[in-house]
Amino acid sequence: MSSDNSKELIPDDSIAAGLRGFGPLGILAVLIILAGNAVVVPLSAVLVLIWAWLSRTPWREIGYVRPRSWITTLAAGLVFGAAFKLLMKAIVMPLLGAPPINQAFHYLVGNTPALPAILFAVTIGAGFGEETVFRGWAFERLGKLFGSGVWAKASIVLLTTVWFGWDHHALQGLAGVQQATIVGLVFGTIFAITGRIWLLIIAHAAFDLTAVAIIYWDLESAVAHFFFK
């Protein structure tokens, strides 16, 4: 009796297989996940985790691999993310002709009441949300279509980079696309090589937190003109 009841509690294999595939159920899952952030950020990432659980997709396939050392991963992610942002702001973006002031977020200058919302957005929405979708989930889905060879991974990096870059156009314009494209290329390459997402989640959050700090303390122009007057 108990054995029969246990079997009834086991999810249907056909549903899990359908969610992993690209038939009607799999495509529906993709569309629902893509639409998630239109409701609230980071709903798409939460839906990815639900999809992974329901489809019995191993967590490692979307990059959720336990780090060998949480302390090392945290420290490396924070240093890498902050340094990457300073490099982009002080050298790369000026060379691309980007304006020194990011008008989309200039309202944050000295705006303490706005900090809780933006800190949530950059840590949970961007760090966890964007990395889970653009790296973990997108690489898993495209990997099932393209395979796992070198050229397949390179194609996936390029496709997700273009998607990630364009996703920033509506809010931040051309400069946002340029920066996000470079970030997407770097982060995508790291994920393609390592298959691990925690470092990228932390680095992405640190990247954006550094950006917020620069804006909040009204240092954008000074950093952007540090090397190029």
Q: Where are the domains of the chain?
A: 1-57, 64-224
pLDDT value of position 27: 97
pLDDT value of position 11: 53
Q: How far apart are CA 21 and CA 144, in angstroms?
A: 9
Cβ pair 87, 211 in contact under 8 A: no
Long-range contacts of 19-24 (CB under 8 A, 24+ apart): 19/51, 19/54, 19/55, 20/55, 20/56, 20/57, 20/144, 22/144, 22/145
The pTM for the full model equals 0.93
pLDDT per residue as tens digits for the range 119-162: 999 999 999 999 999 999 999 999 999 998 999 999 999 999 99
Helices first, then strands: H and E counts in the chain: 12, 0
Asked whether the CA dihedral 117, 110, 79, 163 is positive or negative, the reply is positive
**With 50 as the cut, is the pLDDT of residue 2 above it?**
no
**Residue 65 in 3-state DSSP?**
coil
